Structure 1
């Protein structure tokens, strides 16, 4: 509806039947017709269009009243021209927004097309891309694993590898240290070992077997922690390496499967070798009790200095004592024979400083081995494995020339879309130019 009449064009038909007063009506415009009036003569009976137009022209030229109507307001041809003008104005207002939407869609399609992997067309081109990817991948791993450079993944904390690996080492150290506990069941484990190792021998004599048995038991109690550490480290390194490979190889998905397989093979071998070293370390700690740490004897002597305090606490009303910051309950030791109790106390005071040395040695060994294996992986193994997987096991670089079907379909679809959008834009711009010329 056009309540104001601003967009209304009035067409007066059958002018030849009611010509009286028509001139005054169309010139005074009493009802506020915004686009004006056009008077026409209707085709009668079996008149052809040409006959009707000739009769209309004669009418507006010879009729005493109708001939006075301005030529721009009379005739079917004038009506047709005015309708074309009006429609052109309406279309001209819509076309710029249509062109804008086409440009936006075209821009998105071009961006998507440019993001597509390059289509490798020759062996030399594929070889060049392969060498470039391997070099870039190795450089990225050296940055994030060896040199601790963060520029490539500044905002991605998962890829800050040395910080994450240091956290894993710290967590391992804390978990191992938590195994040192004075307060819980004080001397119970030591007394059990002494009872099982009892034999016909001089009293107050502590054989080496007792210390070794206790050491094996304690080492076994924490042996799962280094294994979990290796699993966590190797799992994290595989994630990091594959992520870096995807970033380096994103433009060439043809090369990705073989390179990813090689990367996973290398990290898998590293895990196996690392786990073997961990098993050796655990067995080594169980087999031999040795340290050159000069602090072992002073630490043992310091702990043995608590013996008098320990004996006094057995006869005190509280039945507790503070040793190494731990509050220890000794009520359960009243009925234990003096020989067993004293040997258990001595065994505990020997094991405590030695166990701290063992834990530090474990953490240091695992941290150093981790760094060593990472260096081997990045500098010596991963490049050779990738080349072997692609060139030998993967059937050579020639097989990488075939573009994946999914990528080929997407490339074809985007090319078709870009072509149609460009053609549509050109056609609309030609229409707009035609409207401008017509209005001029």
Structure 2
């Protein structure tokens, strides 16, 4: 009791004064205030730690959820039994209910940082006042991510790191480093950032999450303290399982019974997911839901990939592409020879156009798989909403890790297609031969009727016809070719040479196209 009175008399006024100074904006004048800044890698468990301190639920999900600094003022008050919550951002300031916090923070984030997935340095201020709370002011920052996903700027990693550096640089700042027990601490980005500004570790505190998944390894790391944390460690153990135990039905009264129920639920989820994903089973709960036909839906997405890839590249037989080839070859080689460097550059540009398409299908597959997983979890853990939430978060984290692996695979395959021009696939020469034969027949037909423009052939539904009633059937690839391309041999030798080059680039691109529409679905199904 005496300690509480001393705290109320000495520490509380200081904390209140600091909050008052922060609200009136003295930090904008260069005055540094004592602050606790929460940093950590993406999915390290920062939100769980802050939720346990504040008693309110924050937005969760895969990827970067915290996209702006969240300044949370937590204050103990015995004058009210309910939480008194105030949110401020920009010119907005309003009181909200406990159950409205998550949506209010999402909306404020959308207004400050936009509808996409980028970050913004403008803060959201959230004041939480209620009984049995600690007196703290925390600044929660975006989690560190290394691989940008669709909708994020390519320099998202650098933006987040710069934001963290700016916040933790002042000596008045205490760095609360949230780290998962499952990762290698020596290579952890958040620890490396802490060391940059606090080499002695005198103002760094570490909270270790997910200790229950690797208890022995975590204890050894803490005892070794190789990362030099001066303020010590807090191990956050079994929070997920304890929360689930508290929500179990009354009939489950022991930990052993709870574990049996947990194993039953996870086993049922695995059985249903395997049926949906591997065999295409129709589960009775969503028998009529076409969206839950997993193989069919994925097949549709991959068919869209093939069509979208085809539409993303140039029209190789068009006048515009022929002019690109012509411009690229001037000064590099003789008129009828496409140099390796020019050929490689043309292909590099075409592959570059395909990157957004390939990454978009990855995003769609991940979003769809997560949606199916959530539906199955809702069925299996219908009576345990707390456990269902935890299972969804875990599934999202695992799927997020798989997404990053697939992203790197696709990125590497595209880079190889750009860097190396080589194929042992006979399809390349088969395509060249087929197109060349078709054009030779077209040329013979043209030559047989002279250079009279009235007798030049015109294409119609894949068939080349001339004014004398003669016709030949073109290869499918040339069915949509413009007449200017088909008539090129009758113009001059240079035009005929460009025609051959266009065929070469098209044939090689078809090889790349076939590779992509094979390996990407296989990787995403694996």
Contact map agreement 1:230 1:271 (CA 8 A) in 2: yes
Secondary structure of the equivalent of 1:254?
A: helix
Distance 1:229 1:279 in 2: 13
Distance 1:155 1:357 in 2: 40
The answer to whether structure 1 residue 127 and structure 2 residue 259 are counterparts is yes
Contact map agreement 1:190 1:214 (CA 8 A) in 2: no
Shift of 1:164: 0.7
- Residue 288 of structure 2: aligned partner: 155
Change (3 A) 1:306 1:154: same
Distance 1:264 1:327 in 2: 46
Match of 1:362 among 500, 516, 522: 516
The answer to whether structure 1 residue 328 and structure 2 residue 482 are counterparts is yes
Q: For residues 34-63 of structure 1, what are the alpha-carbon distances to aligned partners after superposition, in whole Å with 9 as ceiling and x for unaligned?
A: xxxxxxxxxxxxxxxxxxxxxxxxxxxxxx
Contact map agreement 1:150 1:160 (CA 8 A) in 2: yes
Stretches of structure 1 lacking an aligned partner (at least 5 in a row): 1-115, 373-440
Contact map agreement 1:319 1:331 (CA 8 A) in 2: no
Q: For residues 136-159 of structure 1, what are the alpha-carbon distances to aligned partners after superposition, in whole Å with 9 as ceiling and x for unaligned?
A: 111111111123222443222211
Q: Which has the higher strand share?
A: 2
Secondary structure of the equivalent of 1:242?
A: helix
Q: For residues 392-430 of structure 1, what are the alpha-carbon distances to aligned partners after superposition, in whole Å with 9 as ceiling and x for unaligned?
A: xxxxxxxxxxxxxxxxxxxxxxxxxxxxxxxxxxxxxxx
Secondary structure of the equivalent of 1:305?
A: helix
Q: Which has the higher contact order (CA 8 A, sep 6+)?
A: 1
Shift of 1:366: 0.9
Measured on the aligned residues, the alpha-carbon RMSD in Å equals 3.1
Distance 2:373 2:346 in 1: 42
Secondary structure of the equivalent of 2:453?
A: coil
Contact map agreement 2:428 2:510 (CA 8 A) in 1: no
Contact map agreement 1:319 1:330 (CA 8 A) in 2: no
Distance 2:423 2:332 in 1: 30
Contact map agreement 2:381 2:388 (CA 8 A) in 1: yes
Distance 1:223 1:254 in 2: 39
Q: For residues 80-134 of structure 1, what are the alpha-carbon distances to aligned partners after superposition, in whole Å with 9 as ceiling and x for unaligned?
A: xxxxxxxxxxxxxxxxxxxxxxxxxxxxxxxxxxxx9723432222212111111
**For 1:41-440, what aligned pairs fall within 5 Å after superposition?**
118-119=249-250, 120-152=252-284, 153-178=286-311, 186-199=318-331, 201-308=333-440, 309=442, 312=446, 316-317=453-454, 320-321=458-459, 322=464, 323=474, 324-330=478-484, 338=492, 340-372=494-526
Change (3 A) 1:331 1:135: closer
Contact map agreement 1:117 1:253 (CA 8 A) in 2: no
Shift of 1:240: 0.5
Stretches of structure 2 lacking an aligned partner (at least 5 in a row): 1-246, 465-473
Secondary structure of the equivalent of 1:326?
A: coil
Shift of 1:249: 0.8
Instruction: Show structure 1 runs of 4+ deviating over 3 A.
Output: 177-182, 200-203, 310-315, 317-323, 331-334, 336-340
Contact map agreement 1:194 1:344 (CA 8 A) in 2: yes
Shift of 1:161: 0.6
Contact map agreement 1:320 1:330 (CA 8 A) in 2: no
Contact map agreement 2:458 2:483 (CA 8 A) in 1: yes
Q: Could you say which structure has the larger radius of gyration?
A: 1
Distance 1:250 1:362 in 2: 40
Contact map agreement 2:280 2:293 (CA 8 A) in 1: yes
Change (3 A) 1:139 1:315: farther
Aligned length: 256
TM-score with structure 2 setting the length? 0.44
TM-score with structure 1 setting the length? 0.52
Contact map agreement 1:212 1:289 (CA 8 A) in 2: yes
Change (3 A) 1:284 1:200: closer
Contact map agreement 1:320 1:329 (CA 8 A) in 2: yes
Q: Which has the higher helix share?
A: 1
Distance 1:142 1:366 in 2: 21
Shift of 1:219: 1.5
